[in-house]
Amino acid sequence: MTLPAEAVGSAPGRGRLAGRRVLVVGAGTRPSPEPDPPLGNGRAIAVLAAREGAAVACADRDAGAAEATAALVRDENQDAAVVLADVASPDACASVVAESAAALGGLDGLVLNVGIGLGRGLAGTTAAQWDEVFAVNTRAHFLVAAAALPVLAPGSAVVFVSSAASLRAATGVPAYDASKAALLGICRQVAREGMDRAIRANLVVPSLVDTPLGREASRRNAARTARSLPFGRQATAWEVAYATVWLLSGESSYVNAHPLILDGGATSFG
């Protein structure tokens, strides 16, 4: 089956984010030994935002990964800034916003695309693992959003990238599932507090996505992709990016506090 040009990242931009300044937290892609690996979600989001006309601050804890994404943003003829930040640190959650706003001359968009998973089952997850996962997957989103709200220009948009693991217990990693489920509550509060300045906040909820991280997870756990998948495939990172860019754009101007589920229908069918 031939995928649409959007799904493989070959469609031209349409200027939907022209003049916008977008911070993507988690903009790098994990290194892969494959000769031609797919992009990760954060990198695809950053590149597509640039293709649609935005300047992009590429934030990641891996400087090399952030630099590689920034180079792709510049290939789209847009300004890029590299911001090094490990949002597991509360101080970094504030500095990533301040540094990005300074580099781009302000911010009109924020994408939070970070997440880790530790432990296995309730009995196999320690308190330290639980706290580490929540520090990255939940606390960081709360702290970055809290720092960004006063900085974001009126009419801005915030997008949280969650996971279909938040919808049902399927991964066997309870800290990951619970931390991703908590993002909806944070998103709703950001949306509520942002409304006075027409700042929207929404959530993209992808299921299995073909990324280097996803491929590594499937290598470790073959059952992950053994089940029947909608349309016979996983999503691509570009499909996650298009959902995210739509929520950043004026095309979704009356969509707020909304979880957009990107799973091909999987959670509805089985």
The CATH number of residue 179's host domain is: 3.40.50.720
In a domain, 11, yes or no: no
Asked whether 238 and 6 are in contact (CB, 8 A), the reply is: yes
Q: Give me the pLDDT at residue 33, please.
A: 77
In a domain, 4, yes or no: no
Residue 176 falls in the annotated catalytic set = yes
Number of domains in the chain: 1
In a domain, 3, yes or no: no
**Structural domain boundaries, residue 70:** 16-269
Which regions of the chain are under pLDDT 50? none
Q: Show the DSSP H helices in 113-270 as ranges.
A: 127-134, 140-148, 174-194, 212-220, 237-248, 266-269
DSSP state of 164: G
In a domain, 2, yes or no: no
In a domain, 1, yes or no: no
In a domain, 193, yes or no: yes
The C-alpha angle with vertex 179 and arms to 181 and 97, in degrees rounded to 5, equals 105
In a domain, 65, yes or no: yes
Q: Which of 176, 238, 242, 246 is catalytic?
A: 176
In a domain, 10, yes or no: no
Nearest by Cα to 265 from 207, 187, 219 = 207
Q: Give me the pLDDT at residue 32, please.
A: 73
